[in-house]
Chain A
């Protein structure tokens, strides 16, 4: 099922099955980009992308700067990410936050049908490496594709639900849990604003700060493990940029720090869930 799309056009030359050689087919994507193509490499899942980390970190992310700007690498790498399907510890990673640590690449986390299509289209115009993390849970999502898909930007977070009492900041598969939590919170009289980060690198901090300065409270929801999570980065930047606007400490809802287990009740317990988000928001809002 590995696919190596040399261009969006179909055909056996341009859509290629590859061997299970993640490091080499991602590296070949880098080389093909250096050679003037615009490759789209599908590594299937983030779990297998670990086998290609050398090419991603040491080549894709360095060659432009290290060569003094002589080379561009217009490469797209797609992969599924996330847990929740009872596939065990080796197929349930959420490592987009790791990737967002790396300068010189763009990290996208589409969470809507429009972004799933639109971000891929927009990425085809990017001159530098783009990594698209598609939460596996979202592949089953139904939705109307609107015209906006043909003009989405790759630089802004989106307010998916406006609100006044607290900013719920999330991305990817956690967006839908967070929106559901916001609905339940509304029943409790809490008007939550939901931000979908969409792009983890470069991070749209101004949109986050505008929201936090309005609500004075923030909860970050991230399926990654808490330690060193992307939620930690967002929290730190809120502290740096809006500390005196906060009425309560920034809270985080992340995965429990265990390898994600197979049985459903344990997997559910390991991941951010609607109830946990609601509880975290009550704790933050209760401090007013």
Chain B
């Protein structure tokens, strides 16, 4: 049972998780309808992480995320219109439509992607933190990555370098137990990811990633450590994705029973049940939340539909800085 001291705050967490879930459900529908193409990685089941973690960061902290980053951008505050337009590939998207689902960017919110090579964002976060460190800025660089990334050399190199140079990097592992279709125990000799931090003398913690309040408090503690200038922190969120890795996979790597078992711990459901038990959430309150979210999504879809494509003449724009070539 979550500790629901601040009812308004808890309802806001629920609203944010629902907002991500409905946005992604709509995305899946639009994918089936051919409006969205390419890869589309949904975070269904993992919403508590972005919702709990990102508000613990300050507006001028940096975020580097992965190809499963819709929720992260939504919580960070990038307008849903710009995100939906990006999924459509329209020029009003948050990356002019050039990136698509895996490559959301938002310079104004220090959102550095949307980087889709597994573990490729970790060194970038180390460098962002180095820039802050050398410029004597008290900012945190938060880097999200999955359990698959811990098998990459860049994970180990980045933890080492950030620790060696005492850089303010918050390493945030979204452990959903499967690297695409490879179970953690099939690719890691040590499946307790947080313990890998010991090798680099980095403080670490692991938290239930299905409990948004636990995510929130653990992340806040980790941010405090990093901002205090003591170097990096590794926080592991233990979570689960309910849908396929991308839009479709055969899911031969796990059983339906396992998925159903995890769905009992659906973060939306956990928080809703807690709030209902305390009388905070009623059908009327939920309807109101859902209606507002549905309206926002409908507006975003209308916006994306009506938005123009980037003209082909602009194909090579921004390869180099203007005036360079």
Contact = CB atoms under 8 A, between A and B. Distances in A.
Interface of A: 6, 13-14, 16, 18-19, 21, 23-37, 39, 54-55, 58-59, 63-72, 103-104, 126-128, 202
With most chain A CB atoms within 10 A of its CB, the pick from B107, B123, B128, B129 is: B123
Contact of B131 (A37, A54, A70, A128): A37
A24 B132 contact: no
Contact of A34 (B99, B128, B153, B161): B128
Contacts of B164: 19
A103 B320 CA distance: 9
Contacts of A31: 64, 112, 123-131, 141
B117 A32 contact: no
Contact of B124 (A30, A36, A104): A30
Interface string B297-325: 00000000000000000000111110011
**How many of chain B's residues touch chain A, expressed as a range?**
35 or more
A55 B124 CA distance: 9
Nearest to B64: A31
Contacts of A127: 320-321, 324
Contacts of A37: 130-131, 134-135
A63 B158 CA distance: 20
Interface string B20-45: 00000000000000000000000000
A54 B117 contact: yes
A35 B130 CA distance: 8
A25 B131 CA distance: 13
A71 B103 contact: no
A45 B157 CA distance: 19
B131 A35 contact: yes
A27 B126 contact: yes
A122 B41 CA distance: 42
Interface in B97-113: 97-99, 103, 105-107, 112-113
B107 A71 contact: yes
A31 B95 CA distance: 18
A70 B107 CA distance: 6
B134 A24 contact: no
30 contacts: A19-B160, A19-B164, A21-B153, A21-B161, A23-B123, A23-B154, A23-B157, A27-B120, A27-B154, A28-B123, A30-B124, A31-B125, A31-B130, A34-B112, A36-B131, A36-B135, A37-B131, A39-B127, A54-B154, A55-B120, A55-B123, A65-B318, A65-B319, A67-B99, A67-B107, A67-B113, A68-B97, A68-B98, A69-B318, A70-B105
A59 B113 CA distance: 10
A21 B156 CA distance: 9
B319 to A, nearest CB: 5
B321 A72 contact: yes
Nearest to A41: B127
Given A31-B131, A35-B62, A103 B123 contact: no
With most chain B CB atoms within 10 A of its CB, the pick from A6, A13, A28, A202 is: A28
A32 B128 contact: yes
A128 B324 CA distance: 9
